[in-house]
Amino acid sequence: VVFYSLDRICIGSQCVISQKTYLCTGSHDIQDPAFGLQTAPITIGNGAWVATDCFVGLGVTIGANTVVGARSSVFGDLPAARVCLGTPCRPRYPRSLESKTRYIS
């Protein structure tokens, strides 16, 4: 995982950020002749899973319990409890969470 942290990166509890994922809080303003630097934080909600080889751009918020499919490119906010994928990444369907109780013997 690469954290290009020119701004804050906030990751909630019980999250998974899989291998080869790139979290990028900085970019350049292509409208600026000086190509000025822009930064904005990334926030990943509790219980989210960002699967392998994803790109998450500056200013993005990924909602709690959301899954980002492998090799997706996230350039905008994603709602909570959805399965999202693609380039650009978009919500596809709700994520149903079943309560599971684990017993330790």
Q: Give per-residue pLDDT as tens, 14-43.
A: 999 999 999 999 999 999 999 999 999 999
- CA–CA gap between residue 92 and residue 4 (Å, rounded): 28
pLDDT classification of 100: cutoffs 50, 70, 90: low
pLDDT classification of 101: cutoffs 50, 70, 90: low
Report angle CA 101, 102, 105 to the nearest 5 degrees.
140
- Spatial neighbors of 74 by CB under 8 A, at least 6 apart, are 54, 55, 56, 57, 60, 62, 68, 84, 88, 89
Q: In this predicted structure, what is the pLDDT of residue 3? A: 97
Q: In this predicted structure, what is the pLDDT of residue 81? A: 97
The mean predicted confidence, pLDDT, of the chain is 94
What is the pTM (predicted TM-score) of this model? 0.91
Q: Catalytic positions, please?
A: 28
Q: In this predicted structure, what is the pLDDT of residue 39? A: 98
The count of C-alpha atoms lying within 13 angstroms of the C-alpha of 76, restricted to the half-sphere facing its C-beta, is 9
Q: Are 59 and 45 in contact (CB under 8 A)?
A: no
